[in-house]
Structure formats: C-alpha cells, structure tokens
Amino acid sequence: MAGSTLNEAAAGASETPQRGAGAARGAQPAGGGSLAERAGETVEKLARGVAQAAGDQAEAAIEAAREAKASAVESLEDFTVTARERIDEAAQSLSETVARNPLRSIAIAAGVGLLVGLLTRPERD
C-alpha cells in the first residue's frame, strides 16, 4: 500500500527532470506551472508517501505491541492460576499433616517461635 504511493511519487519525480529541460530554456512545462512549483508538488507527494509508509510501520509496531501485551497477560494469568493451585495443595497437605500429628506440630511451632524470639531480641550489655 505505502510502497505503491512511494513508487507513484518517485515516478512523478523522475518525470520532472525530463520536462524540466524545456523549462530551463524558458519554455512553459506541459503540466502547467513553473518547474519550481512542479518540483514542490513532487516533493510534497514524496513527503506524503514517506509519511504514509511511516504511518503503516507505526501501525504495525503498535499491533505487534498489542499482541505481545496480550500474550504476556495470558502467560501471567496461567502462572497465577498454577501458583494458586500449588499454594492450595501445599496448604491442604500442611493441614492434613497437622491433623495427623497435632503434638508434633505444636512442638515444631514452639521451637520455631523460640528460635525467632532469640534471633530478634535486643542485645544486652
């Protein structure tokens, strides 16, 4: 799409020097207007073609970014679901272990609490 616009603009630009030879000798170009006006029009056509090509590339880049975002969101959602399932399984397993061995669980919890308390107490001189 943009390539055809650029090709048309380039074709118009390549015609300008051929018609411009007569204008340089003082003759009026076949398309009307001065050589400078026609050159200006050709430059404008080229500029529009380049702008269109850049716009097409920008749109393609935006679409690629949207697709990457959608893929990242989907991956994150999958990861979140998997993590929740694993946490639920671990919690269930821990609950079953505590239910089977309540005294052992209490002793382990008390030991961990004592250790944390010793590690976090302020030092005395």
What is the C-alpha separation between 42 and 10, in angstroms, rounded? Answer: 8
Q: Angle CA(24)–CA(29)–CA(35) in degrees, nearest 5?
A: 55
Whole-number pLDDT of residue 14: 46
What is the C-alpha separation between 57 and 63, in angstroms, rounded? Answer: 10
Is 0.75 topped by the overall pTM?
no
Q: Nearest 10 degrees: CA dihedral of 100, 103, 105, 107?
A: -160
| Mean pLDDT calculated for residue range 80-90 | 97
| Mean pLDDT calculated for residue range 55-59 | 87
Strand (E) or helix (H) holding 8: helix 2-24
Residue 22, pLDDT above cutoff 90: no
| Mean pLDDT calculated for residue range 49-69 | 89
Question: Residue 30 — very low, low, confident or very high, per pLDDT cuts 50/70/90?
Answer: low
Whole-number pLDDT of residue 79: 96
